[in-house]
Structure 1
Amino acid sequence: MAVPSQLVREKFPNIDEEIFQYVEGVLTSTEDFESSEDVYDAIGSLLADAVGVEREDEIRKLCDQVMSTLTVSNGTIERKILDAPVQLAEMAANMEVEDEAIKSVWSRERDDTLKVDQKKLDKAEAKLKEKKEKRVNADKKEQAPIIMEMATASQVVSKKDRALDAKGSCNTKDIRIESFDVAYGEKVLIQNATISLAFGRRYALVGRNGLGKTTLLRMIASRTLRIPGHISVLHVEQEVVGDDTLAIESVLECDTQRKNLLDKEKELQTRIANGDSDDTLSSQLSEVYAELQAIEADKAPAKASVILNGLGFNPEMQTRKTREFSGGWRMRIALARALFTQPDLLLLDEPTNMLDMKAIIWLENYLLTWPTTLLVVSHDRHFLDMVPTDVLHLHSQAIDSYKGNYENFSTTREERHKNMQREYEAQSQFRQHVQEFIDKFRYNAKRASLVQSKIKMLEKLPELKPVEKETIVTLRFPEAEKLNSPILQLDEVEFSYKKDVVIFSKVNLSAAMDSRICIVGENGTGKTTLLKILLGDLSPTKGHRFCNRSLRIGYFTQHHVDQLDMRLCPVELLQSKYTGKPVEEYRRQLGAFGVSGDLAVQQLASLSGGQKSRVAFSLICMGNPNFFILDEPTNHLDIETIEALGKAIQKFKGGVVLVSHDERLIRMVCTELWVCGDKQVVCMEGGFDEYRAIVEKEIQATI
């Protein structure tokens, strides 16, 4: 008769060895098995997890077979029948044991061969848990696929414009996009809008998160919206593909005219060197040299180097292969290529997100002399005050145009809204007065003609609407109890990834419950590393980190936003992390960060970058932190939300350490500045004004 474990092996030959050994150990002891159901209770669920619940019928049949091997012909398990009472004292007296052994049947150990190896059991259970999680995640993917709705656009194009495009006779570089709509799935983002972009002017497209700014840029870049064919358009959206091309060569290659001429020059020189008898080669080469001189090709490497240097690439980095750079640095190369190419229309979407303070100041100065048309989406208030000559305001499915920078736009819009409200109120009073006259004399025969004229006048009067005020954004951080100092402290801290690569050394800094600290410095100077040491994720190579044991740190970074499960809606995301609370509490938590109504039940994949950031904030605050460490929290947030974030930080009773390059936010909240650089972290007494002056001086020195 077959051994029970052999039946398991025959039925499931591919079963994991650790799980099989565990099952084998269970089946060596059969005293408690009364029926096949007992066998199933002992090993059934284990086998189901190992081979799949869909094979449950096979597992039950196997348990029946196992039971049959344990029974005798009359259908019962063979057991030893006692024909007399067992005298345990007599058994103990007759047991042959060594002198040092304990002479008691109660403490006699069970045969080791009948024991289940605990290590094997732990391994088996760990593997089963891993398989279960994979199966659950797979099921989750099948149940909730990411629904990426497509953006669409429609536009009314006149016959005249179509004819001009067909002939190619239109030479103006000005752009006018008339009567267009943009929708994302079923949601209408922009309706019957018209924008005009005059050549050589710099336009900022502003508006709340989720209204369609990025979508509009993509529609223009793809020419889904009509752009004259002779106008070159470049949208900086994707990072440069990493390969063996050097960073500076990657920038130079995007000038296709120069590249083609250099390739032709090389080909002609090779043919001449090889003794080609064609008499026209010399004249062709002269023509190529003349064209190269006309486009000032010899100045191109210096121009590319200046642009890369301004964006943070030192001479050594400029000669590195693009595949050696991270995604953020490749995005900088993409920006450098765009600035070098100088298309007729340059589209930039949040260009300051990837830059440090030095690079932002350089870019502001560089764009002030930009010769072609620029359309930029940005939420950096200082950048918007420095660069644009015009502002396009996207709101209520419409686009309004304003002259001047963001500050002028803000003032003009407020005045415009006041005037519109006054006109609306005046018209409402006039309508009411006329209507009262009509109602009073409607049935007066002598004034019938006058009443009719008043009615016609009201019908012709354009109907004004009250000014639609945008909702005020508010963010609410949790209450924080007061903790005794020291809260967080670094003493003589040094950190190095390798023995010969020191990031910083002799760092002595501390943070309290009322701290508002901003960390600044160029990219690569160790800001994120410093944050991870403060968090406790990295241990100092030398020195010590002290932390109050009651400290609960809320850590925000754009990396966390990117790792959210995009298949879930915000409410489901909070439920998955903090289970067992009523739905109203999750909605209340999301509402504290401006994610309310339909947004709370939309799939995360369909939300804008700023809306995802708010969801991430609400998730972090659900854990009631009493200290915040924020790494570039303003990326993708609109201006109003950044203002709300600043106010929330001001009201928060706990401490805050912030890495940011948003000058307005830094000036709004920070009372202490830590500067990373030259393998040091120092507290700058003069604050942000002193730091900006130093950076501007460094930029001037490199020009």
Structure 2
Amino acid sequence: MAEVATQLLREKFPNIDEEIFQYVEGVLNSSEDLHSGEDVYEAIGSLLEDAVGAEREGEIRKLCDMFVPNLTLSNGTPGTTTTGNRILDAPVQLSEMAANMEQEEEVIKSVWSKERDEALKVDQRKLDKAEAKLKEKKEKRTVTDKKEQPAIILDMATASQVVSKKERVLDAKGGCNTKDIRIESFDVAFGERVLIQNATVSLAFGRRYALVGRNGLGKTTLLRMISSRSLRIPSHVSVLHVEQEVTGDDTIALESVLECDIQRNTLIQKEKEIQARIAQGDPDETLSSQLSEVYAELQAIEADKAPAKASVILSGLGFNPEMQTRKTREFSGGWRMRIALARALFSQPDLLLLDEPTNMLDMKAIIWLENYLMGWPTTLLVVSHDRHFLDIVPTDVLHLHTQTIDTYKGNYENFINTKNERQKNQQREYEAQAQFRAHVQEFIDKFRYNAKRASLVQSKIKMLEKLPELKPVEKETGVVLRFPEAEKLNTPILQLDEVQFEYKKDTVIFSGVNLSAAMNSRICIVGENGTGKTTLLKILLGELSPTKGHRVCNRSLRIGYFTQHHVDQLDMRVCPVELLQNKYTGKNIEEYRRQLGSFGISGDLALQQLASLSGGQKSRVAFSLMCMGNPNFFILDEPTNHLDIETIEALGEAIQKFKGGVVLVSHDERLIRMVCTELWVCGDKKVRCMEGGFDEYRTLVEKEIQATL
């Protein structure tokens, strides 16, 4: 009675294809071996799961149990199961059967293998058709599931901290008014990976701290844990983390900055409401006194000076008077990040957290920001890899390494000197103790079985046990970047002759550009944002054609282009090895891993999802991808963004060793000084060579800043 079972299946899953119903019916009709619901599930369960989804396994199993009473089993009685052996009516003579099989034309079927009725056999064509339809449906469902799921699933960062009951009570009652911050005995993890363990950080109010360390150790994660108050920060301390760009809307840039002053906005709104009531003839006699109080409070907070202060901050970050009156939605993401930074500087929280603030700024804005932060009145915690910035701004350095944080007084240069001295002392102490231990152990081994000196040996053993266990200095592995070998090319390599470019008629970006690059060129292009640096690079690449003039390049030139938006161009769902495989197919996996390893992405990092890597690690992957094509000329647009200081140093050394030409756009002063042999300045619709090099350019920019103050 397989028809009854099939009818149950149709009622339960009416949307299954007809071919699948027919296939299931054929299986159930040949049901001699199906004695239980588990047997039925093994026979058809996987097929049904493919058809309706594996998540409905429980329903399918129940249905299989319901099929058993309706099956016609080998004894012909529905609803019974025959599990015993079949009793034969007479002995079976196998030798006689074999002889008969040889003689007869038609093969005699063995009693051990009963031939099934042809009508009950499964039609192979129907089965193939059913399986093909199932496969097609499964692929469609997989695509749909991928669309519905979030593109990237990341492990979330977590923080834990030991906080005493006394501290919690004091914080709840507001009994502590100090602006100093002390985060004791805390851990930070990202997924299963522990980033920081049992660390303590003290931030004194009014001091400026730089958080430094290698890429991927958890600097940005620590800032997020502090800003979200996952780590205990006193409730009366205001914290602001500049991480998200300002939302683009109809608010003008200047007004967006002024909105940060909540007290001023509240008082101005209250003033407008009182004046409106007075204008409407409200008889309330207290309105005039209320208005006087509002004016007094506005005067006390110097509200009239707020627009000028906001304008100065925006101007320092590169916004001219016309740009300050534009709506925020008219700005690009980089400029909206500048507005977010301006809002933070204007609001002056008790603790300001900045993560790579110089990444979005040109040289002029960086110099202005350095000078502005030198007089910062509250506590500052900044993550930066700009060596010059770190030498000027911080009063203290927090060094994140080996899951712990050490504090150093002074700027970055002082930190390097002090750290090296500490490590030398630590290594000397370790070596001296190791030598002392070896000497004592030698005495113990020599007189261990000497009865006369037994007491002395025991005292030596106890002394060794009480000695503190010193560890050798764990030196951080050096960073090495290896660019590919480049064959020599005949000149001209790359040349621009009297080039002019304009986006619209009468909107000239620059004109009269004469730029020539050879295989030994190290050209650095600088200038304020919006002066055409990236446009110039795209003309060099051949992505844009000049309005006037000519671009000439060697036919054997292979350009490697590193864009400042490299992260946006990477597929965050795959691992670094897969990324290289997708772009450059046909190589074995060891070649991809070797290529990634030459840029510091080795071991498990090469197999992690790109989205889980730090910004600096993603940059290294982008370098690896760029070099996989074996270029002989580099055009690098802001390559230092997100790289740690050690990697920037390694990048400079790699550029120096590279045999091909390099055109570089950067605002990292240290890198420019390391590699630059020609400095080109974009500005005033021109691109000119500055003979005095970077020193002359910095002096010129500082004079311009002083003139605007």
Per the TM superposition, whether the score is higher than 0.5 is: yes
Q: CA deviation at 1:362?
A: 0.1
1:455 matched to 2:461? The reply is yes
Structure 2 SS opposite 1:524: coil
Alignment of 1:264-413 (within 5 A): 264-413=270-419
Q: Deviations over 1:238-295 (max 9, x none)?
A: 0000011010000000100000000000111111111110011011001101100110
Question: Deviation of residue 592 (structure 1)?
Answer: 0.4
**8 A Cα contact 1:561 1:613, kept in partner:** yes
**Paired position in structure 2 for 1:104:** none
Cα drift, residue 140 of structure 1: 7.4
Kept in 2: contact 1:144–1:568 (CA 8 A): no
Where has structure 1 moved over 3 Å in runs of 4 or more?
Answer: 133-145
Q: 1:150 to 1:244 in 2, by over 3 A?
A: same
Q: Which runs of 5+ in 2 are unaligned?
A: 1-124, 130-138
Q: Distance in 1 between matches of 2:627 and 2:142?
A: 27
| Correspondence for 1:681 among 687, 700, 707 | 687
Equivalent residue in structure 2 for 1:422, among 418, 424, 428: 428
Distance in 1, matches of 2:679 and 2:567, equals 26
Residues 1:147 and 2:153 are matched in the alignment:
yes
Q: Deviations over 1:585-637 (max 9, x none)?
A: 10100000000000011110100010001001001100000000000000000
In the TM superposition, 1:260-659 aligns within 5 A as 260-659=266-665
Give the counterpart letter for 1:301 in structure 2. Answer: P
TM-score by length of 2: 0.80
Deviations along 1:21-67, one digit per CA (max 9) or x if unpaired, are: xxxxxxxxxxxxxxxxxxxxxxxxxxxxxxxxxxxx99x99xxxxxx
Matches for 1:8-19 after TM superposition, within 5 Å? none
Q: Secondary structure at the match of 1:544?
A: strand
Shift of 1:167: 1.0
SS in 1 for 2:359: helix
- What's the offset of the Cα at 1:499? 0.5
Amino acid at match of 1:405: N
- Tell me what 1:160 maps to: 166
Alpha carbons 1:516, 1:670 under 8 Å: kept = yes
Letter matched to residue 438 of structure 1: I
Q: Which amino acid aligns with 2:366?
A: I
- Indicate the residue corresponding to 1:242 in structure 2: 248
Deviations 1:541-582 (A, max 9, x none): 111100111000000013232221111111111111111111
Amino acid paired to 1:199: F
- The equivalent residue for 2:111 is none
Q: 2:221 corresponds to which residue?
A: 215
Q: Displacement, 1:142?
A: 8.5
- Answering whether residue 273 of structure 2 is matched by residue 256 of structure 1, we say no
User: Given that residues 233 and 344 in structure 1 are in contact (C-alpha distance below 8 angstroms), is that contact kept between their aligned partners in structure 2?
Assistant: yes
Shift of 1:146: 2.4
Residue 204 of structure 1 aligns with an amino acid whose one-letter code is: A
Query: Quick one: distance in 2 between partners of 1:551 and 1:615?
Result: 23
8 Å CA contact 1:144–1:567 kept in 2: the answer is: no
SS at match of 1:543: strand
Amino acid at match of 1:344: D
1:224 maps to: 230
Native 8 Å contact 1:147 1:606 kept in 2: no
In structure 2, relative to structure 1, the CA distance for the partners of 1:200 and 1:619 (3 Å cut) is: same
Identical residues among aligned pairs (%): 87
Take 1:180 and 1:287, find their aligned partners in 2: how far apart are those partners? 46
2:672 paired with 1:666: yes
Q: Aligned runs of 1:3-152 on 2, under 5 Å?
A: 146-152=152-158
Q: Is the 8 A contact 1:441 1:448 kept in 2?
A: yes
1:699 aligns with 2:702: no
**Alignment match, 2:180:** 174
Q: State how far apart, in whole Å, the 1-side matches of 2:677 and 2:319 are.
A: 31
Q: Distance in 1 between matches of 2:154 and 2:541?
A: 35
Corresponding residue of 1:32: none
Deviation of 1:136 after TM superposition, in Å, equals 10
Give the C-alpha shift of residue 147 in structure 1.
Answer: 2.8
**Following TM superposition, by how much is the alpha carbon of 1:138 offset from its aligned partner in structure 2, in angstroms?**
7.3
Give the Cα–Cα distance (whole angstroms) in 2 for the partners of residues 468 and 611 of structure 1: 22
CA distance in 2, matches of 1:615, 1:583: 15
Task: Give the Å deviation of 1:449.
Answer: 1.5
Question: Distance between the aligned counterparts of 1:480 and 1:470, measured in 2?
Answer: 31
Matched with 2:68 is: none
Three-state SS of the structure 1 residue aligned to 2:435 is: helix
Partner of 2:94: none
Distance in 2, Cα, partners of 1:659 & 1:471 = 28
1:95-133 deviation line (CA, Å, top 9, x unaligned)? xxxxxxxxxxxxxxxxxxxxxxxxxxxxxxxxxxxxxx9
Q: 1:91: which partner in 2?
A: none
Structure 1 Cα separation of the partners of residues 315 and 363 of structure 2: 14
Residue by residue over 1:287-338, the C-alpha shift from the partner in whole angstroms, topping out at 9 and shown as x without a partner, is 1011001100000000000000000000000000000000000000000000
AA in 1 matched with 2:312: V
2:98 aligned partner: none
Aligned pair in 2 of structure 1 residues 411, 166: CA closer, same or farther (>3 Å)? same
Aligned-pair CA distance for 1:453 = 1.3
Q: Distance in 1 between matches of 2:570 and 2:577?
A: 13
Within 1, Cα distance between the matches of 2:501 and 2:471? 62
Cα distance in 1 for partners of 2:299, 2:151 equals 56
Counterparts of 1:625 and 1:691, CA distance in 2 = 31
Quote the residue 1:18 is aligned against.
Answer: none
Amino acid at match of 2:480: T
- In structure 2, give the amino acid aligned to 1:503: I
Q: Once the 2 structures are TM-superposed, how far is the Cα of residue 458 of structure 1 from its aligned partner? A: 1.0
SS state at 1:192 partner: strand
In 2, distance between residues paired with 1:379 and 1:620? 22
Instruction: Give the C-alpha shift of residue 372 in structure 1.
Output: 0.2
Give the distance between the partners of 2:436 and 2:164, measured in 1 at CA: 40
**Given residue 669 of structure 2, which amino acid in structure 1 is its aligned partner?**
E
CA distance in 1, matches of 2:604, 2:407: 30
SS state of the match for residue 352, structure 1?
Answer: coil
Q: For residue 457 of structure 2, what is the amino acid of its counterpart?
A: V
Residue identity opposite 1:585 in structure 2: E
Residue 95 of structure 1 corresponds to none
Q: What CA RMSD, in Å, does the superposition of the two structures yield over aligned residues?
A: 1.9
Distance (Å, rounded) in 2 between the aligned partners of 1:283 and 1:634? 58
TM-superposed CA distance for 1:446, in Å, is: 1.7
Question: 2: distance between equivalents of 1:562 and 1:392?
Answer: 30
- Equivalence for 2:55: none
Q: 1:139 to 1:257 in 2, by over 3 A?
A: closer
Matched with 1:75 is none
Structure 1 SS opposite 2:574: coil
Q: Contact 1:307/1:340 (CA < 8 Å) preserved in 2?
A: yes
